Structure 1
């Protein structure tokens, strides 16, 4: 059944804006979007290393018709100098993890990695710099003792003992926030956790196994109910939500589809199905959207053909619809560029005046939210 949530016709901004630090978020600990942990057999499989994980975004953003980039620049908070832009995963008002871009103090790479995790700490050093409606998922009092990256692209993170002082219901969301924040950085494919000088083989409270490196194959924002992993394949898609300030932002959600389905088609069909009822996410497609084809060209550009009579002329198409397609394709490929065909037309103009009929890539920094 498709969600009956209406699609928003007008969008506020291309992505969203926030400098300085932000934090990770929860799947299980949310009051508004409580998600049961997967069965132990599924959990073990999801935490296995499954090869190189897909990393965030390409290097090019959508371009407006006048040739300028559509992502706005936002100044950092008063008294804070602009630094290194990065993306961290924070808990939004619906209890879901969302990527948020921020500007961290400049420094060598390991220092920036430490800061990105520090931004995930509830009531931590960056808590006052978070955008409204977003919070950190790591327990208050947590300290990031060190982050090192070895030759195998494994990030080894050591926390102090307060890391274990969390709500048991938030255990999986903590792992997701850490893993997706670090693996979004160039040169990191997996994560290993240490606490107080000891390597963790399982999480302290719920016992989620940590005997293998954490990668994005673990998924994010899991469905409340889903098929067993042994008979299905995981895909991650992007829906939209609205911040307390009325700005749209994008949220990744892992869905399970029947094993053997073509991955990109399956992912885009999940966009058409829409978000789960009550999770606070919004439809990005209309209930009449149809996926006609998905083709990868020799030049690496993926062409997505859609049909939707609501946008017969392929003009003033909601940005959220088109951007969610681009983000979803990028997440399920090696950051492929995307061009969209709508109702057979090769020029597809979004509500923010971007031509998605031409090849575009996902933005390097998703969800730049203002404070």
Structure 2
């Protein structure tokens, strides 16, 4: 459950406060992510600041995984509709493609309370059955990312769908939700009563690294979602998925995490450190860990301690930040990012 509304600002680049690396620095405050607006003279934009907003679209990568990408779209009163219309054009690029069949028409997205009704027509039914779950997830996560709706219904040619039209995937009467999962791997599905937990692994294409959400099913009795999230990250992704975990093998928490006012304090064993025995923590660990805890446990910021190490530094030589916060947009380069 991400805590931040993803799109409502114009020609924007995000900086992080209360975190010296890799997302920015403010030595006096530990605040939530800030949205900072730049004029056109300061940052290149495909349209004027009055015409463009940033939105997080869920698209498909070369591994056939659903991936968030922050892109500038035309500003509109109906942001959800504008985002899906942009997705329907197929003009994604950078090694990604739209999940929507060519010729899909987005007629409307109507918000009713916390429910979004997505009305489609055209060639929406022209997809392979194996793409069905990805299409449903991409629509759901894109629409709910704006923070107005937490569940999604689909109407095709004016008729409410109870199942997806090709493979027959059921759509709950209450609508599709993020809790239904994304990029779910069967090898980690558990029997019995379960609940979802989404973690972030890394992938790479010719354009560089990016992060991919993967939903796992854990026991419904699990109370400590922070520890559960770290454990799933440590397990790593499914073999052959094209994904990697930034956590070193054997990484685990040595004591129960504490959470106070949205800040989680994590005490790791020294397996989280880079090889060679030095007390160095890879900066690549920070972002996917922060994203995972924000999505799955509602954590606003985190502090990292390593068991038995009093002076842990990043591989750059900088001190590990006292407070680390997830970025507003998952796969958008920031001018202050070290990646």
Same fold (TM > 0.5): yes
The alpha carbon displacement at 1:168 in A equals: 1.3
Q: Secondary structure at the match of 1:134?
A: coil
Aligned residues: 307
Counterpart among 250, 254, 264 of residue 215 in structure 2: 254
Separation in 2, partners of 1:64, 1:182: 32
Name the residue aligned to 1:338: 302
> Does the C-alpha gap of structure 1 residues 304 and 256 become closer, same or farther in structure 2, counting only changes over 3 Å?
same
Name the residue aligned to 1:120: 87
RMSD: 3.0
Instruction: Indicate whether 1:64 and 2:1 are aligned.
Output: no
Separation in 1, partners of 2:143, 2:44: 22
Name the residue aligned to 1:292: 254
Q: Secondary structure at the match of 1:275?
A: coil
Q: Over residues 185-232 of structure 1, what are the superposed CA-to-partner deviations in whole Å (9 max), with x where a residue is unaligned?
A: 122211111111111111111111223311111010000334345333
Instruction: Indicate whether 1:176 and 2:132 are aligned.
Output: no
Separation in 2, partners of 1:255, 1:270: 8
The alpha carbon displacement at 1:90 in A equals: 1.0
Instruction: Indicate whether 1:324 and 2:288 are aligned.
Output: yes
Instruction: Indicate whether 1:136 and 2:98 are aligned.
Output: yes
Q: Over residues 256-278 of structure 1, what are the superposed CA-to-partner deviations in whole Å (9 max), with x where a residue is unaligned?
A: 23342332211111111111110
Name the residue aligned to 2:179: 217
Counterpart among 95, 104, 107 of residue 64 in structure 2: 95
The alpha carbon displacement at 1:350 in A equals: 3.9
Name the residue aligned to 2:30: none
Aligned partners of 1:305 and 1:344 also within 8 Å? no
* Correspondences of 1:259-270 after superposition (within 5 Å): 259-261=220-222, 262-270=224-232
Aligned partners of 1:339 and 1:358 also within 8 Å? yes
TM-score normalised over the length of structure 1: 0.74
Higher strand share: 2
Instruction: Indicate whether 1:166 and 2:127 are aligned.
Output: yes
Q: Secondary structure at the match of 2:95?
A: coil
The alpha carbon displacement at 1:169 in A equals: 1.0
**Is there any run of 5+ residues in structure 2 with no aligned partner, and where?**
7-13, 27-32, 335-339
Separation in 2, partners of 1:116, 1:162: 18
Q: Secondary structure at the match of 2:202?
A: strand
> Does the C-alpha gap of structure 1 residues 293 and 81 become closer, same or farther in structure 2, counting only changes over 3 Å?
farther
Aligned partners of 1:85 and 1:103 also within 8 Å? yes
The alpha carbon displacement at 1:335 in A equals: 4.2
Aligned partners of 1:146 and 1:157 also within 8 Å? yes
The alpha carbon displacement at 1:94 in A equals: 1.1
Separation in 2, partners of 1:272, 1:200: 38
Aligned partners of 2:100 and 2:124 also within 8 Å? yes
Aligned partners of 1:340 and 1:346 also within 8 Å? no
The alpha carbon displacement at 1:295 in A equals: 2.3
Counterpart among 128, 131, 150 of residue 189 in structure 1: 150
Aligned partners of 2:201 and 2:212 also within 8 Å? yes
TM-score normalised over the length of structure 2: 0.80
Separation in 1, partners of 2:261, 2:299: 13
